[in-house]
Amino acid sequence: MDSSVAAALLLQQGYEVVGGFIKNWSDSKDPLSGICSWRAERRDALRVAAVLDIPLLTFDFEKQYRKLIVQELYDGYKRGETPNPDVLCNEYIKFGLFWEQAKKFGFEFMATGHYAILKNDKSGNAHLIRGVDPDKDQSYFLYRVPQQVLRRTFFPIGKYKKSEIRRFAQKFRLPVAAKPDSQGICFIGKVDFSEFLSNKLKNNPGDIVTSDGKVIGTHFGLHNYTIGQRQRIAIADKHPWFVAQKDIKNNCLIVVDSEDHPLMQAKELIITDLHWVAGKTPKLPLNVSIQVRYRQSPHQAKIFADATSKSIKIKLKKYVKAAAIGQSVVIYHNSECLGGGVIRQTMQV
């Protein structure tokens, strides 16, 4: 629906618009029809294109998606990390392969239904700003999009709230006006995540250990657990336990009895694999706000560069809970997304 309204708004503004449908995954089934969900999604896209009277091009990137996104997901969880497939999908697929194909067809710009705002300065540089709707802002997932692509990108719905986009969809008589928001892994959909990972990762049981070294249970493979996850150790155990760390070397899951336990609280983070929206590192040190997860309340922090500029140290004013190796940290200055990186080390309180 979001992309459909974006197309309608651009037509209203006088742009020549051609729709683009990306097929990245063919294994998921629609729970109602039992049919491969990408076919149902493409059917919806064709219906929207017919109402808007625009062509629709289809791009098949499934081979690349499996290699660049899904395999990295498997590899990350095998290493005990928590990668973000939506961030990778935007970088490599939507604003990577798709944009390269669009240029070959002669298109000057691309547009998506992301809830974010782009503002170009006098030099033509694109600045990535949070979307107006705080519950839908998707700038977190866009921090790795290259500057040269952002300069050629439109986010037509970023200045609206979701409720307004629903009304636009009804106004334009779009056949997807009542369609619910997509959920789950980007392009794969809502799946049982443990089951999805088990397609490639073998369950390797090991000890569940408390922070003071006491063995209290057995886990069923470290990839099945997320840092911060509430975990019931036994059926009759009503005591809350929380996943604090994964000890890959010893195949142990370390748990604590409180969300406020020191092992759950990080006061400093080291991030690498840096990407800056402007294409260059801002002047550091700098007071910023950060997000470790989508829809997380921003945390005030100060960032420092190392001598090689290959990593950033983040010192938080207050601790952040359940920060996990492999998660993306996205850095903001006021409402502008400056960029971010991937957590490689956490320092607890």
Helix 2-12 vs helix 37-52: crossing angle, to nearest 10:
20
Element (H, E) at 313: strand 312-321
- Which letter does DSSP use for residue 30 in this model? -
Q: Are 299 and 316 in contact (CB under 8 A)?
A: yes
Which alpha helices (DSSP H) does 157-310 contain, by range?
162-171, 193-197
Concerning whether 186 is annotated as a catalytic residue, the answer is yes
Quote the CA–CA distance of 83 and 324 in Å, as a whole number. Answer: 9
d(CA 297, CA 307): 30
- Amino acid symbol at 188: I
Distance from C-alpha of 342 to C-alpha of 331, rounded to nearest angstrom: 11
Length of the chain, in residues = 349
Q: Looking up tokens 């492999």, which residue turns up?
A: 326
Work out whether strand 206-210 and strand 252-256 pair parallel, antiparallel, or are unpaired. Answer: parallel
Lookup: tokens for 3: 């992309």
Q: What span, in angstroms and rounded, lies between the C-alpha atoms of 35 and 30?
A: 5
36 is catalytic: no
Is the Cα torsion angle 264, 266, 272, 277 positive or negative in sign?
positive
Q: Please, are residues 22 and 89 in contact by the beta-carbon 8 Å criterion?
A: no
Point out the catalytic residue in the list 36, 89, 252, 337. 89
Query: Can you list the alpha helix ranges (DSSP code H) found in the chain?
Result: 2-12, 37-52, 62-65, 71-78, 85-89, 98-104, 147-150, 162-171, 193-197
User: Buried b vs exposed e over 151-182: b needs ≥16 C-beta within 10 Å?
Assistant: ebbbbbbbebbbeebbebbeebebbbbeeeee
- DSSP state for residue 282 in the 8-state scheme: P
Active site residues: 89, 186
